[in-house]
Amino acid sequence: MSNYRKTDPGLWTGRKSDSQLYLHEKVQCLDFGKMEFSSLRGDNFALLGYASDQGVIRNQGRKGASKGPDSIRQQLAKMPHHLNDGTLLWDIGNIHCEDGNMEKAQGVLGKIVTSILHQGWFPMLLGGGHDIAYGHYLGIKSYLNAQGKNQTLGIINFDAHFDLRSTEHANTSGTPFYQIARDCKMENNPFKYMCLGIRKDSNSKTLFHRARDLGVPYIEKKHFNLLHLNNIRYKLERFIGEVDVIYTTIDLDGFSSAYAAGVSAASPMGFSPEMVLECLEIVIDSKKLISMDIAEMNPTYDQDHQTAKLAASLIHYVMHNKT
């Protein structure tokens, strides 16, 4: 599997203890190509990186997101954990984009996601451009099809952008949910996609019209704050009630650059971490969340690792509230 690389265990360093108090002491790095999956089943967490910024480059964004997964790992490693001994944390490695072939990388990513889900593990994907979402979706779709239960998948995207751009010229980091919508139409499946934090200064009129035509519910950034939490909760719970399982994706460029400067398209006008945590709690409490990813981490533009720390804290939050 030429696109695959095992994680360098040296990335996982931090304060040492005698009782595995920190995540770098808890994590186990595995080589996906050599894994005996059947012997490793359980209610565990699996980290998988998408080390690609090809979609960002195609979308005329800032290069550097291919280094995102490892920068998140380095900050996550230092954090304490409160997981019980029976809950394991696996680091599966990274998928790389070779020779600009983003579509191949997405396909490999999808196959590994499917394998992770079949193990009963919870995938936590680290990006990388937001084109991670299409590969992630392919893996979830394959898994759900194999279950034969005709389950409806809901996608919740925390983002400033719809990422519903046309694929007329190329697939990019701005097209994944349009690609998903197109696939759903071809396969006669419902397209259930909700966006939280959308900004008018980040989406063209065409994209708003496309979202409307595709029946995409969204909450604009101006209403995505604690003052409107009750209304947000109502809309989010209504969406959750319409689906069987949920895939959540967090684009770090949706946050204000005060929290996340290290992204491909930074802006001071984004939302706050508190709002995302409030919504994640609602999603987790539904018991429908089966997978998540964090996209657009770009360490080239990070300041004092703050964006990587934010991404790591979000993963830490989900990991500890889902158990």
Q: Please check if 82 is assigned to a binding site.
A: no
Residues near 237 by Cβ (< 8 Å), separated by ≥ 6?
282, 286
pTM: 0.97
Q: Please check if 251 is assigned to a binding site.
A: yes
Residues near 161 by Cβ (< 8 Å), separated by ≥ 6?
130, 174, 198, 199, 202, 203, 207, 251, 253, 254, 265
Q: Please check if 96 is assigned to a binding site.
A: no
Separation of first and last alpha carbons in the chain:
32
Report the sign of the C-alpha dihedral through residues 261, 266, 269, 270, in that order: negative
Residue pLDDT, tens place only, 96-121: 999 999 999 999 999 999 999 999 99
Phi, psi (rounded to 5 degrees) for 174: -100, 5
Q: Please check if 163 is assigned to a binding site.
A: yes
Share above pLDDT 70 across residues of the chain, in percent, rounded to a whole number: 98
How many domains, in total, are found in the chain?
A: 1
What CATH number is associated with residue 235? 3.40.800.10
Residue pLDDT, tens place only, 314-323: 999 999 999 8
For residue 283, the enclosing domain spans: 4-322
What angle separates helix 102-118 from helix 132-147, to the nearest 10 degrees? 40
Q: Please check if 293 is assigned to a binding site.
A: no
Q: Please check if 161 is assigned to a binding site.
A: yes
Residue pLDDT, tens place only, 30-58: 998 776 665 667 779 999 999 999 999 99
Helix, strand, or coil (residue 82): coil
The span from the CA of 155 to the CA of 166, in Å, is 19
Residue pLDDT, tens place only, 58-80: 999 999 999 999 999 999 999 99
